[in-house]
């Protein structure tokens, strides 16, 4: 099951439009697994460094990059976002303009 869930998570993350962002909880809900926000993070963490998945478009519910402001990971994510036109101040992102209102889950197994 968790294997399946990972697949769906990847799918949803891949579905985030360029220049938009979504939160961990949002992704979890879109997958049909509300409450699995934490697991979304865990899953993204396991991604290989050369993965093509737009993991940088995933942020926390407060609208910020989860990494500490100075960290390399944070800078990497911020660069990728800004390159897509997303405005990032420190770790903060302007959700009003960039947050993605995702719709249904493409690959929801059950249902």
Write down the residue that tokens 């303009």 correspond to.
97
Does residue 100 bind DNA (CB under 7 A)?
no
Q: What does DSSP assign to residue 56?
A: G
Does residue 89 bind DNA (CB under 7 A)?
no
H-helix or E-strand spanning residue 72 = helix 72-83
Binding region for DNA (CB under 7 A) out of 35-43, 83-91, 100-108: 35-43
Does residue 35 bind DNA (CB under 7 A)?
yes
- Which of 61, 68, 75, 106 is the binder for DNA (CB under 7 A)? 61
Does residue 92 bind DNA (CB under 7 A)?
no
d(CA 23, CA 19): 14
Does residue 62 bind DNA (CB under 7 A)?
yes
């Amino acid at each position: 099951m968790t294997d399946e869930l990972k697949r769906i998570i990847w799918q949803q993350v891949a579905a985030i439009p360029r220049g938009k962002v979504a939160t961990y909880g949002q992704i979890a809900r879109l997958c049909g697994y509300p409450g699995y926000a934490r697991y979304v993070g865990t899953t993204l963490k396991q991604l290989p460094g050369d993965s093509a998945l737009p993991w940088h478009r995933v942020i926390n519910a407060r609208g910020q990059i989860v990494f500490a402001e100075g960290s390399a990971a944070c800078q990497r994510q911020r660069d990728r976002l800004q390159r897509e036109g997303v405005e990032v101040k420190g770790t903060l992102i302007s959700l009003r303009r960039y947050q993605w209102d995702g719709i249904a889950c493409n690959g929801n197994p059950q249902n």
